[in-house]
Chain A
C-alpha cells in the first residue's frame, strides 16, 4: 500500500517527501481529534471511580 502511494505521488523526490509528510500529518490529526475521542470512552482503562 505504501509502495503504491509512493509510486503515485507526482514530482521529484523532495516534493514527494513533502507530500508524504503532509499525508502522515493529515492522518495523525484525523486520528487524534476525531477517531481517538470517539474510541476512548469505549475502552476500559482510565476509569477512576468506584461503583458496584
Chain B
C-alpha cells in the first residue's frame, strides 16, 4: 500500500482531482452492487427458512403432539380425561370446560393427500398453536357437532398441513379421529361434475376464496351471520388457509359435511382409510 502512495507524494499535478472523483464514483457503485448482492442473498435465505427450516421445527412439534394424542386415544386412560370429551360433557360440577389453547384435540386424516397424511389438530389459531399443526378456531363447534368444526392451517412452511388444499374434490373424505369417535366428513360440491362451487341445502359450497376479513365462513352456518349452532341443520367441517400460495391476500376455504360417524374401537380404522374395517 505504501508503495502505491509514494510515487504521487510531492507531485501537485492537476490529474489527482478527476481520478479521485472517479474513485469515489467507483467506490459508490461497488458499494451499491455489494448491497444488492447482500440483499439478494438474504432474501433467498429467507425463502429457504420459510419453506424448509420452519418445516423442520413444526414437523418435530407435530410429530410429538400426534404421538401423544394417538397414545392417549389408545391407552386405557379414563375417557373423561380427554379434553374433547370434557368439553362435550362439561365438568362434574356442571361448569363449562374450556380446552386450553395448544392442546391436541383430534387427528385429521385426508386420504386425498396420501395414506400417511395424519395431522394432530390443536386448540387455538395463534401463531404458536399453528406452528404445531392445524388449529381449531376457539368458539366454533367440536368435531361431529351440528354447526361448524373450523380449522386453520399453514399452506407454505410451518409443516404446511394445508399445502394441497386446492387439490380436494367434491366427495373427498376428511376423517377426524377423537378419543371416542371417528367422524367422516365429505367435501361439499357436486361429485358427479367435480364442481366445488355447487351449494348444499344450507347454501354452503365445497370451496370458496374469500377476503381475510370474511370471518363468516367459520360461522355455524358458513356465510350466514346470526344463525346460532342450535339453529343450524348440518354438522360441517371448514378448513381455512392462505391463498394464493406464498401470499396472504386471500383465504381458501374448504367446507365438508358429516357423512357418517363410527365409534372408536381399539386400533381399528374406518374404511375410508387404508386398511380400514369400521
- A residues neighboring B (CB under 8 Å): 1-3, 28, 31-33, 36, 40-41, 44-52
* Chain A nearest CB, measured from B123 CB (Å): 14
Task: Tell me the total A-B contact number using a CB cutoff of 8 A.
Answer: 72
State how many residues of chain B have any CB contact under 8 Å with chain A.
Answer: 39
Binding stretch for chain A, among B6-14, B64-72, B149-157, B171-179: B149-157
What are 16 pairs between A and B in contact, CB < 8 Å? Answer: A1-B31, A1-B34, A28-B45, A31-B46, A32-B45, A32-B49, A40-B54, A48-B152, A48-B154, A49-B152, A50-B152, A50-B215, A50-B217, A50-B240, A51-B213, A51-B215
- B residues neighboring A (CB under 8 Å): 30-31, 34, 42, 45-46, 48-50, 53-54, 125, 127, 130, 135, 137, 152-158, 162, 210, 212-215, 217-218, 240-242, 246-248, 251, 253
Q: Are B212 and A32 in contact (CB under 8 A)?
A: no
Q: With contacts A2-B34, A31-B42, A41-B127 known, is A50 near B49, CB below 8 A? A: no
Q: Are B48 and A49 in contact (CB under 8 A)?
A: no
Q: Are A45 and B251 in contact (CB under 8 A)?
A: no
Q: Are A48 and B127 in contact (CB under 8 A)?
A: no
Q: Are B248 and A46 in contact (CB under 8 A)?
A: yes
Contacts of A31 in B (CB 8 A): 42, 45-46, 49
- Which of B162, B210, B248 has the most chain A CB within a 10 Å cutoff? B248
* Chain B nearest CB, measured from A21 CB (Å): 14
